[in-house]
Amino acid sequence: MSTTLTPSARRTPAEVAAPAEASRPRRPRRTRLVPGRPLPFGWAVGPVLLLALWAAGTGLGLVDVRSLPAPWTVAATAGDLIDNGKLPSHLATSAQRALLGLLFGTVSGLLLALVSGLSRIGEAVIDGPVQIKRAIPSLALIPLLILWFGIGETMKVVTIALGVFVPVYIHTHSGLRSIDGRYAELAETVRLGRLAFVRHVVLPGALPGFLLGMRFAVTAAWLALVVVEQVNATSGIGYMMELARTYGQTDVIIVGLVVYGLLGLVSDALVRLVERRALSWRRTLAG
């Protein structure tokens, strides 16, 4: 007895299940909109690429070595400056000036921001003059500061501090004003005192703004340092570069620029590290 199979009976189980699966609605593919975790040492990718382009341009003869020496020439010059002790000595002097200006500028900016952010009278008195100072570049005040403080170290540190305190004040004040009002209501509900309110609510709420201001502040400190060290200085990276300009030593000038760039890059990375550690509770795109 022969059995004749119909076409539908000859299909495999997978072919039978295929129409059923095809009729099911497909789930939309999820698209990741956030950039994800940062790459390890991602901050170094850009400088390394720039260095590679510089070396390639010099090696191919596209760059005039009299205007821009080769990277290996600059590296050899930096080695000589380190061996004879000139670069470490100038670097120590520059770091001391920058750190003193950063310290005084940060403390003054933070204190003024707290007074202005926590008091309407303080804001009326302080915020206006700070906004005026914000519109005036700190470097434009150098002639006046020279008349007031002379051309010594005090003028240099004050100039750096003036460039630092404005971003610290602006961002800390903004952080204070952006604290959620529900936290203040909760503090009143649990009857927190003023000091406890400042400690447990105000300072943690203003911390993101303060750290953002510090990133701008460290950059402003190095920018101001570049200029003040070329005003009647007898030591420092800027003095070394100015002296090299007099003798036409382009490689020494490039060494000074590289040192300034590395100092700015490292200081910004340190602030970002502190920011990630102190604000680990926040979920952001960078995290």
Instruction: Give residue 281's pLDDT.
Output: 62
Instruction: Give residue 287's pLDDT.
Output: 47
Assess if residue 50 is contained within a domain. no
Instruction: Give residue 41's pLDDT.
Output: 61
Assess if residue 261 is contained within a domain. yes
Instruction: Give residue 135's pLDDT.
Output: 87
Domains in the chain, number? 1
Assess if residue 83 is contained within a domain. yes
Assess if residue 111 is contained within a domain. yes
Assess if residue 103 is contained within a domain. yes
Assess if residue 11 is contained within a domain. no
Instruction: Give residue 273's pLDDT.
Output: 86
Assess if residue 174 is contained within a domain. yes
Assess if residue 126 is contained within a domain. yes
- Which residues in the chain show pLDDT less than 70? 1-44, 180-181, 183-184, 188, 281-287
Contacts of 18 (CB under 8 A, 6+ apart): none
Tens digit of each residue's pLDDT (9 = 90 or more) over 221-247: 998 888 888 877 788 898 899 888 888
- Residue 96 is part of which domain span? 66-278
Tens digit of each residue's pLDDT (9 = 90 or more) over 80-117: 999 998 999 999 999 999 999 999 999 999 999 988 88
CATH of the domain at 100: 1.10.3720.10
Instruction: Give residue 202's pLDDT.
Output: 75
